[in-house]
């Protein structure tokens, strides 16, 4: 294992648990800040391990590996939300500074805990219920009407733990699993399922903020996220034609949630834009929370004075935060999903040559259909043109278009 090398002059080491693309994208800003990074990587060739010299291999579920890793770091943060509570507790017991703290992180790890807490602090959410039995499901569906949305409280991502169902039979397997998880006192369904009304939303929005331990906070402009088959494919920054009052109250809500929950670091609040059924006024309801740099913030790497990865490092180190102001009227981000290319490099050259205004970010991941392997950003003044250019580049890299 290569120990992290500290820059002379008292500069710190930030440890990241998990060696995925988020940890990888911290590498550039860390180098510029003279902050050293160390990542606990899943494998020697993990996305972050390719570019960060200190990348011991170990599992985020292995207490001993995580403690040995953390002993060499000044603060520890996360590439994902899957570090189990017992591992977080062991880190806390040793006095390792963790950002976000386990007390906050639970609301990003567990959607039922999140719904309970947001309801307590009066944040607008879809109608929801906790369900352990078929009767619980029927009761909720009678209140809100079929179809409903069912979610596994833990472990879902990219829509994988989400089902839109029109009858209780479609949840038979999850209810059975909930019974066995409850009997064992462990597993993603041990507290049952999260049920939600199917929100008739106008579009999906995300509010990205950063908060430091000394309570400084900064908010980027509210963005629109476009999903295809449950996966975010495009982000428009700022959200076009967003009602200014909605932008203000949505941002205020994200900042208030960050403070109430004690979140530190970058924090994303995914929201649905809805219309008040009586007045037609634009409103939001909160879908979910992420306590780390987030896909909805990738645009900021090129489109804002301070990108989310730099800001996350500044926040977890309690450094003064940078300006989140946009650098251009519009920035469009398009995710690159894995396609048919065994060799991506020729496609990557083509995209760069075709449009020198694009910023291409690839994560060093092997190409698998549907997997997020990178993204492109493009900023400017003509939104329709930017969308077309970003989408073309992403499609070319996926292999959906060849010219
Ligand atoms: P994940 O944790 O997998 O990202 P989400 O809870 O964000 O799951 O849900 C994934 C997608 O499913 C959302 O982006 C949205 O398009 C849709 N969705 C989730 N909850 C609801 C809901 N209550 N009503 C309507 N659509 C929903």
Nearest to 271 by CA among 201, 361, 374, 190: 201
In contact, 151 and 196? CB cutoff 8 Å: yes
Q: Is 157 in the pocket of ligand 1 (CB under 6 A)?
A: yes
Q: What mean pLDDT is predicted for residues 22-31? A: 98
CA 157–ligand 1 middle distance (angstroms): 10
Q: Is 160 in the pocket of ligand 1 (CB under 6 A)?
A: yes
In a domain, residue 369? The reply is yes
CA 338–ligand 1 middle distance (angstroms): 22
Does 155 lie in the same domain as 66? no
Give long-range contacts, CB 8 A cutoff, 24+ apart: 50-55: 50/24, 50/364, 51/24, 51/27, 51/364, 52/19, 52/23, 52/24, 52/27, 53/2, 53/5, 54/1, 54/2, 54/3, 54/4, 54/5, 55/2, 55/19
Domain endpoint, select from 197, 230, 255: 197
Nearest CA to ligand 1 atom 16: 230
Compute the radius of gyration of the chain from its Cα atoms.
21
Q: Is 227 in the pocket of ligand 1 (CB under 6 A)?
A: yes
Confidence (pLDDT) at 1: 54
**pLDDT per residue as tens digits for the range 176-205:** 999 999 999 988 899 999 999 999 999 999
Q: What mean pLDDT is predicted for residues 75-97? A: 97
User: Is 80 exceeded by the pLDDT of residue 167?
Assistant: yes
CA 280–ligand 1 middle distance (angstroms): 23
Number of independent structural domains in the chain: 3
Q: Is 156 in the pocket of ligand 1 (CB under 6 A)?
A: yes
pTM of the model: 0.97
Does 207 lie in the same domain as 192? no
Q: Is 198 in the pocket of ligand 1 (CB under 6 A)?
A: yes
Q: Name the token pair of 27.
A: 């590498």
Q: Is 159 in the pocket of ligand 1 (CB under 6 A)?
A: yes
Domain endpoint, select from 197, 223, 242: 197
> How high is the mean pLDDT of the chain?
96
Does 207 lie in the same domain as 193? no
Specify the ligand 1 atom closest to the Cα of 151. 6
Q: How confident is the model at residue 230 (pLDDT cuts 50, 70, 90)?
A: confident
Q: What share of the chain is helix, strand, coil (3-state, %, to 5)?
A: 35, 25, 40
In a domain, residue 2? The reply is no
- If one counts every other C-beta atom within 10 angstroms of the C-beta of residue 66, the result is 24
Q: How confident is the model at residue 367 (pLDDT cuts 50, 70, 90)?
A: confident
């Amino acid at each position: 294992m290569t120990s992290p090398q500290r820059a002379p002059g008292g500069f710190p080491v930030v440890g990241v648990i998990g060696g995925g693309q988020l940890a990888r994208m911290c590498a550039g800003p860390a180098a510029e800040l003279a902050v050293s990074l160390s990542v606990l990587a899943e494998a020697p060739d993990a996305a972050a391990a390719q570019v960060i010299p200190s990348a011991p291999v170990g599992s985020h579920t292995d207490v001993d590996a995580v403690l040995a890793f953390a002993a060499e770091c000044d603060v520890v943060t996360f590439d994902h939300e899957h570090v189990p509570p017992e591992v977080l507790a062991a880190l806390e017991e040793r006095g390792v500074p963790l950002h976000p703290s386990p007390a906050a992180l639970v609301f990003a790890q567990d959607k039922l805990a999140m719904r309970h807490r947001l309801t307590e602090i009066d944040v607008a959410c879809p109608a929801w219920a906790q369900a352990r039995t078929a009767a619980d499901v029927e009761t909720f569906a009678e209140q809100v009407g079929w179809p409903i949305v069912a979610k596994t409280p833990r472990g879902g991502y990219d829509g994988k733990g989400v089902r839109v169902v029109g009858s209780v039979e479609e949840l038979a397997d999850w209810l059975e699993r909930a019974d066995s998880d409850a009997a064992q006192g462990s597993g993603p369904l041990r507290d049952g399922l999260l049920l939600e009304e199917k929100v008739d939303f106008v579009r999906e929005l995300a509010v990205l903020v950063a908060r430091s331990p000394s309570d400084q906070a900064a908010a980027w402009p509210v963005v629109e996220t476009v999903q295809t088959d449950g996966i975010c494919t495009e982000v428009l920054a700022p959200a076009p034609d967003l009602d200014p009052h909605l932008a203000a109250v949505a941002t205020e809500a994200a900042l208030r949630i960050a403070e109430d929950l004690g979140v530190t670091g970058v924090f994303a609040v995914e929201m649905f834009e809805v219309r008040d059924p009586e007045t037609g006024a634009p409103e939001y309801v909160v879908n979910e929370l992420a306590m780390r740099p987030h896909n909805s913030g990738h645009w900021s790497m090129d489109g804002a004075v301070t990108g989310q990865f730099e800001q996350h490092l500044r926040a977890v180190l309690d450094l003064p935060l940078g300006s989140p102001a946009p650098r251009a009227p519009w920035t469009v981000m398009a995710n690159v999903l894995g396609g048919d290319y065994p060799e991506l490099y020729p496609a990557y050259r083509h995209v760069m040559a075709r449009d020198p205004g694009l910023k291409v970010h690839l994560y060093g991941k092997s190409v698998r259909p549907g997997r997020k392997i990178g993204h492109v950003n493009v900023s400017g003044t003509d939104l329709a043109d930017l969308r077309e250019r970003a989408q073309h580049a992403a499609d070319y890299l996926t292999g959906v278009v060849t010219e």
